[in-house]
Amino acid sequence: MARNAIELAWLAGALQWKHDEARTWLALADAAIERLGGDAELQGDHDITRGVLAQQEDRYEEALSAFEQAIRLDPNYALAYYNKGVALENLKRYDEALVAYEQTIRFNPNFALAYFGKGNALNKLGYSV
């Protein structure tokens, strides 16, 4: 149930921009994760979805907090580092974004968007890429 609710939140919110519906699905996922006694993988995916929704609504500090929570649950979670980089870029914290993108690449060298983000952060920091 929790996995399905998270996926429906992602579909409704991140892909269709129906954020109210997505928040409803996330609340159901919260309840299901709690009934399971907690599940780090599910909670991490929940945090990523929550962060992406916040980011789409220009709530970058909230998004950053969600991505950092996902990283605390799984310090090797490449997708969490990537999204952290995006949030940090939106906050104009390019040096920190660069570190987040480098962590993404470290954990998943095939994560193409992380290379784009790294190049973008380097460009914002004044490096010629």
**In the chain, where the domains are located:** 1-74, 75-129
Kindly report, residue by residue over 66-100, the tens digit of the pLDDT. Answer: 999 999 999 999 999 999 999 999 999 999 999 99
Strand ranges (E), the chain: none
Q: With beta carbons less than 8 A apart as the criterion, state whether 13 and 49 touch.
A: yes
Local confidence pLDDT in tens for the 129 residues of the chain? 778 777 877 677 777 778 888 888 888 888 888 888 888 888 889 899 999 999 999 999 999 999 999 999 999 999 999 999 999 999 999 999 999 999 999 999 999 999 999 999 999 999 985
Q: Which residues contact 70 (CB under 8 A, 6 or more apart)?
A: 43, 44, 45, 47, 48, 51, 77, 79, 80
CATH 3.40.50.970 fits domain 75-129: no
Burial of 100 (0-12, 13-18, 19+ CB in 10 A): buried
